[in-house]
């Protein structure tokens, strides 16, 4: 595949105040290198979208993209799912939350393929009307969901629904994943289907039947140097982006064209 025909994948970055920067506390757009590396290794062209207060440019930005990737990062603001912040919940990034809400709105409107990772799947669930466990210590689990110092190492196994897209991508119904999160999906939003769970029942992956969408709670981008499963997820995702049709036609979950259905978007 020539470079000019490779599909473009838009990745929203973090917006952080870096205390180690020469100007401590100055807001910076930041992203772990694993995300663009994984997209490029799967045959895509990554472009980075820094969150901004002015979301009016997002439509033009996404015109250049065949897919949207939501990355990990800060906790989603609990006020977005009508809860007060609890002790242990991190300070949110209202600018990023609002920017990714608009990115999701446009992606659903255009039926862009979406891969939502860690915070990304949590924000996706909240965007569609679901809620989160603000801290897993309050969720009644003693399974360790914050992994080791080795990001590529597996932390626990997940059970995958046999009839899911994820099972088809991986070729089996069980996988070992890493884990670096203290929040997780609580009430699942209408339209989403849980397709993978941890041994303690925590939601680990969701899909939206009829749409080219996958959300995972683990970090396949951190595992993609050596993990065939992680590589398969990114190949599937970039493959959907490469088949994105033009002239208003839509692409379904399995890559076939058709008309998009309305989502229960908040």
Cα–Cα distance for residue pair 74/266, rounded to 1 Å: 21
Beta bridge partners of 158: 175
Cα–Cα distance for residue pair 90/72, rounded to 1 Å: 14
219 is catalytic: yes
At residue 250, the 3 state secondary structure works out as strand
Do 12 and 101 form a contact (C-beta atoms < 8 A)?
no
118 is catalytic: yes
Phi, psi at residue 140, to the nearest 5°? 75, 30
Per the listing, tokens 């965007």 go with: 127
Do 70 and 116 form a contact (C-beta atoms < 8 A)?
yes
- Helix extents (H) in 165-226: 165-170, 220-223
Cα–Cα distance for residue pair 261/207, rounded to 1 Å: 15
Q: How many CB atoms lie within 10 A of CB 169?
A: 18
Q: Catalytic: which of 16, 118, 156, 207?
A: 118
Cα–Cα distance for residue pair 21/189, rounded to 1 Å: 39
Q: Catalytic: which of 133, 145, 181, 219?
A: 219
Active site members: 118, 219, 221
């Amino acid at each position: 595949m020539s470079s000019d025909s490779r599909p473009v994948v838009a990745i929203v970055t973090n917006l952080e105040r870096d205390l180690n920067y020469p100007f401590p506390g100055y807001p910076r757009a930041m992203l772990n290198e694993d995300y663009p590396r994984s997209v490029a290794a799967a045959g895509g062209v990554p472009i980075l979208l820094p969150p901004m207060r002015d979301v009016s440019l997002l439509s033009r930005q996404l015109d250049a993209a065949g897919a949207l990737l939501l990355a990990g990062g800060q906790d989603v603001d609990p006020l977005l799912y009508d809860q007060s912040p609890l002790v242990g919940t991190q300070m949110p990034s209202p600018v990023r939350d609002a920017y990714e809400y608009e990115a999701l709105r446009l992606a659903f409107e255009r039926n862009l393929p979406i891969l939502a990772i860690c915070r990304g799947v949590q924000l996706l669930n909240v965007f569609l009307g679901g809620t989160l466990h603000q801290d897993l210590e309050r969720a009644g689990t003693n399974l360790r969901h914050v992994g080791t110092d080795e990001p590529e190492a597996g932390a626990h196994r997940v059970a995958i629904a046999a009839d899911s897209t994820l099972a088809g991508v991986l070729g089996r119904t069980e996988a070992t994943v890493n884990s670096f999160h203290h929040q997780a999906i609580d009430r699942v939003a209408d339209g989403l289907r849980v397709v993978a769970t941890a041994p303690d029942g925590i939601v680990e992956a969701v899909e939206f039947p009829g749409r080219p969408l996958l959300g995972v709670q683990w970090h396949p981008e951190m595992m993609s140097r050596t993990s065939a499963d992680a590589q398969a997820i990114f190949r599937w995702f970039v493959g959907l982006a490469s088949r994105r049709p033009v002239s208003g036609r839509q692409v379904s979950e399995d890559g076939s064209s058709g008309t998009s259905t309305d989502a229960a978007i908040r």
